[in-house]
Homo-oligomer: A and B are copies of this chain.
Amino acid sequence: MNKNFEQLMKYIEKEMAFQAALTLFEWDAETLAPEDSMAYTSKTIGILSNEYFINLINDDVKKLIHKLSEEKEQTGLDFNQKAIVKDIKKSIEQLEFIPPEEYRAYSELTAKASGIWSKAKQKKCFADFLPALDEIISYQKKFAGYRAKKGIKPYDILLNDFEEGFNMEKLDEFFGKIKEAVIPLLKEVTKRRDSIDKTYNHRHYDIEKQKEFCRYISGYVGFDFNRGVIAESAHPFTTNLHNHDVRITNHFHEDNLESAIFSIIHESGHGIYEMHIDDAITQTPVGTGTSMGMHESQSRFFENVIGRSEAFWKPLFPRLKETFPEQLNDVSLEHFIKGINKATPGLIRTEADELSYPLHVIIRYEIEKMIFAGKIKTKDLPEVWNKKYKEYMGIEPMDDSNGVLQDIHWAGGSFGYFPSYAIGSAIAAQIYYHMCSVMPIEKYLTEGNLTPIREYLNNHIHKYGKTKNTNEILKDMMDEELNADYYVRYLEEKYNKLYELNP
């Protein structure tokens, strides 16, 4: 074995242990931790983050990485090991210019900020969150500034962190295409909103029965309960300690059947990705999904591309009707499929239909660009937010909780993250058209046999973890990089058909 790599692995093993601990604290805070605990637990998180930091950012590791980055020093390294070296190098570049005490203070700040955000959201009061948000943004700007190479803008640095090779120039073009197609299409669809009746979705649905059905459907799409669990949290999410410990959450509403069902399919998609990372790379830095965008492509492929199709529900709908016989008595499969795909401009991103969804993302992207370009004062965020909703979707939030405060991301310091959601949808559509050309997806779905579909994703995407980036995975899979045209085509085909529009 390569001696330098062996030495590096000692640091990496520690790094992964600290990361697992931090992940567990985060999971715990979202699902279970007592309300008053965070003021104290944030200290623990700060210390562990600091350990994480100094274990990676030190002269020993830098020297090792410096050596191992040269080709002549890579003797004996296999494909995975080379990917690990590359990934650690990237992480070091992200962190090395940040003073450790600032990193620790920032970690404690974001650990506390989720609680502050959550209370502000409950009180529908953006002003309560503003001081924390200002502090986080100022750290983010400072951190990006430390790393800024000549001519590279801070927000581009953040975008590249979440999706390698992406920047504002590329995303402006990407979102430009989508905006151009979606805004007029959504307007057309909105005119015909009454053609689809969805009142059935808001009847009374017993929560225990919802839980049972959601657990069933999670296993049905492939979530493995021997290496995963489902819990509850205000906002559904997925996390993982390694490929044998993958955790998803769900939420339930008595007067909304869809919300829990599609949330669980979505999170199961994320979970399936993490569960199928190769054993050889789990518990290493490359043992996780390659990017947020690719992750979202998997969750959205399951949730939307197949999960809202008629073929998918053909074998499942009878069971759903059995679970809720009274509530769904007058609802046919055809009616149900129209209902779950109905597009209605709404205020909440996580509850949005597929068509208006990208507009929610675009609004956040445009606002983040303004923040990092210094073109907006944070205290004006609610106003700008509300204006954009009015402009793109014709609706306006009645309060901050349904507007600028709805998402947790900024409280965690995740700027540059939101575009991943749209990138994910676009990849999902692109993968779908590709997979249709190599297997009879619809037939499999109708037969209730998801195994070949899942295995194809396992073998072409999941198992590689971060050893390949998004565009490398797509190229190896279908000889083409990300292309927004497929996404536009997907939305147009779907909604033209659903609303019987003639384009």
Chain A residues near B (Cβ < 8 Å): 13-14, 16-17, 20-21, 24-25, 28, 32-37, 39-41, 43-44, 47-48, 51, 225-229, 231, 241-247, 282-283
Q: How many copies does the complex hold?
A: 2
Q: List 9 A-B contacts (CB under 8 A).
A: A13-B43, A16-B44, A20-B41, A21-B24, A33-B245, A34-B229, A36-B244, A37-B241, A40-B245
Q: Give the docked Cα–Cα distance between A24 and B28 (Å).
A: 9
CB distance from A277 to the nearest CB of B (A): 12
With A47-B14, A229-B34, A231-B32 as contacts: A39 and B283 at CB distance below 8 Å: no
Which of B28, B35, B226 lies in contact with A28, CB distance below 8 A? B28
With A13-B47, A35-B226 as contacts: A245 and B41 at CB distance below 8 Å: yes
Which of B21, B35, B48, B247 lies in contact with A44, CB distance below 8 A? B21
Contacts of A25 in B (CB 8 A): 21, 24
Which of B36, B51, B242 lies in contact with A40, CB distance below 8 A? B242
Contacts of A43 in B (CB 8 A): 13, 17, 283
Contacts of A225 in B (CB 8 A): 34
Q: Give the docked Cα–Cα distance between A244 and B35 (Å).
A: 9
Q: Give the docked Cα–Cα distance between A28 and B24 (Å).
A: 9
Contacts of A14 in B (CB 8 A): 47, 51
CB–CB B17/A47 < 8 A = yes
CB distance from A244 to the nearest CB of B (A): 5
Q: Give the docked Cα–Cα distance between A362 and B244 (Å).
A: 41
Contacts of A48 in B (CB 8 A): 17, 21
Which of B32, B34, B227, B282 lies in contact with A34, CB distance below 8 A? B227
